[in-house]
Structure formats: C-alpha cells, structure tokens
C-alpha cells in the first residue's frame, strides 16, 4: 500500500472525457491507494459563483477578471481540498487545473506569462495529463450542455496552447479519441507507473 500522497491533474477540451476519466482513475487507484476526486471550478464559494454565474449563467466579466477569479478559486481548491487530502496520504485527481486557465484565458488573448504570474502560488502538480481529442469530433458530445467557452474555433485555439505544454514536457498526452475503456487503461498505466517511481 502506497501511503504517499500525489497530485495528479487531468486536462482537456470541453467534452474530452476529463470528468469520466478523473472519476474512473480515482476509483481504480482506490484498489491500492487512498484516492480522491476533485474538480475546478471548486466546491468553494468562488467556484460555485464561477460555475453558476459565469460558465452557465448570463453574467460575463472581462477576460482579465475571469482569469483572476479562476486563480482565486484555485487557491481555495488547494487550501480546502488538495492540501488536506495530500496531508492524509491521498492521491488527489483533479478534473482541470492551472493549464485550463493558461489554455482558455490564453486563447482569449491574455498573456501566458501573466496567467502564470497570478497562479504562482498554485501548487505544482506531480503529474499532469492531457486527454487529446479531435475538437470537431467532440462537438457532438456537447450538444446538450454547451458552456460559454465551447465553440469550435475556441476549442482549436485552446488545444494549440495545451499542445505547447505537451512540447515543453509539462503535460503527458493521452489519446482521447479512443473508447472510454481504452482511454482509462492508458491513463491508469501512466499514473501507476508514475506512482511507482515515488513509492
Ligand atoms: N472516450 C470516449 N468516447 C466517447 N464518448 C465519451 C468518451 N469519454 C467520454 N465520453 C462521453 O462524452 C461526454 C463528455 O464526457 P465528460 O463529461 O467526461 O467530458 P468532460 O471533459 O468532463 O467535459 P466538460 O469539459 O464539459 O466538463 C459524456 O457524455 C461522456 O459519456
Ligand atoms: Mg467535466
């Protein structure tokens, strides 16, 4: 039994399977580890505000304000959910993290350097995975619950930024165009190999 905590984040475009896969990974890891699923926007007050009023509500703020809100929510997420779980020896699997801010607010025109600056207090993940999907192919998955960020052109721009972080070696690419079970297998393989190196 590996008692050491780890912070794993799952990133990807809208509808790429992040929630499906992050929950599955946490469940599979529970065979050998303590594991917990968390997500951004978080369950905290700022997270709820972002989810209800910005992503699916009518109120849009400037991109700059939105970036600051996501960064503030991230610190709440870390303080209230991630750090306590890590201290308890849990593997934390987060559905979205700082790369979402870089990719989405970056695609909306903000500089990546500034987004990095406002997130400089955010804990660095131990392992960051990117579920890579064809933006066009996943549009069909989204039709019933489109948020404000989801048009195809935006998704293409967002993917380009994620790709930069794959090239830098910060994100590990997972082929997300395969069926759910195949994607889950690949993610479990990468996560397990990583956790072994730390035990
Ligand atoms: N590999 C896959 N192949 C086909 N459909 C999938 C696959 N993975 C997930 N789905 C389906 O696509 C939809 C979106 O999946 P999911 O909610 O996990 O994505 P998400 O990345 O969390 O989306 P969002 O960004 O909107 O939160 C769901 O209906 C899910 O069942
Ligand atoms: Mg989701």
Q: Which residue lies with its CA nearest to atom 15 of ligand 1?
A: 17
* CB-CB neighbours of 67 under 10 Å: 22
125 CA distance to ligand 1 middle (Å): 23
Is 87 among the domain residues?
yes
- Indicate the pTM of the whole model: 0.95
Between CA 135 and CA 166 the distance in angstroms is 17
> Which CATH number do you get for residue 70?
3.40.50.300
| pLDDT 10s digits, 40-87 | 999 999 999 999 887 776 768 899 999 999 999 999 999 999 999 999
Is 1 among the domain residues?
no
Is 86 among the domain residues?
yes
Residues of the chain with pLDDT under 50: 1-2
Is 127 among the domain residues?
yes
Between CA 181 and CA 185 the distance in angstroms is 6
Residue 189 sits in which domain range?
6-198
- Strand pairing class (34-39; 6-12): unpaired
What is the count of structural domains for the chain?
1
Is 139 among the domain residues?
yes
Between CA 58 and CA 29 the distance in angstroms is 38
Whether the CB of 41 sits within 6 Å of ligand 1: no
Is 112 among the domain residues?
yes
- Which pLDDT score is estimated for 1? 46
Is 125 among the domain residues?
yes
Is 114 among the domain residues?
yes
Report CA 186 to chain centroid distance, whole Å: 17
Ligand 1: nearest atom to the Cα of 16: 21
């Amino acid at each position: 039994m590996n008692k050491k905590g780890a912070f794993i984040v799952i990133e990807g475009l809208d509808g790429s399977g992040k929630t499906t896969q992050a929950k599955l990974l946490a469940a599979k890891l529970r065979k050998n580890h303590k594991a917990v699923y968390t997500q951004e926007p978080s369950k905290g007050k700022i997270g709820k505000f972002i989810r209800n009023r910005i992503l699916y509500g009518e109120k849009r703020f400037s991109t700059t304000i939105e970036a600051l809100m996501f960064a503030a929510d991230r610190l709440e997420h870390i303080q209230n959910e991630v750090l306590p779980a890590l201290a308890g020896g849990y593997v934390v699997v987060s559905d979205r993290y700082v790369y979402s801010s870089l990719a989405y607010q970056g695609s909306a025109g903000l500089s990546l350097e500034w987004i990095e600056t406002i997130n400089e207090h955010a804990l660095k993940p131990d392992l960051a995975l990117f579920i890579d999907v064809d933006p066009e192919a996943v549009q069909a998955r989204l039709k019933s619950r489109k948020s404000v960020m989801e048009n195809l052109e935006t998704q293409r721009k967002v993917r380009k930024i994620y790709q930069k972080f794959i090239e830098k070696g910060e994100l590990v690419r997972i082929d997300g165009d395969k069926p759910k079970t195949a994607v889950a297998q690949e993610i479990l393989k990468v996560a397990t190999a990583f956790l072994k190196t730390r035990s």
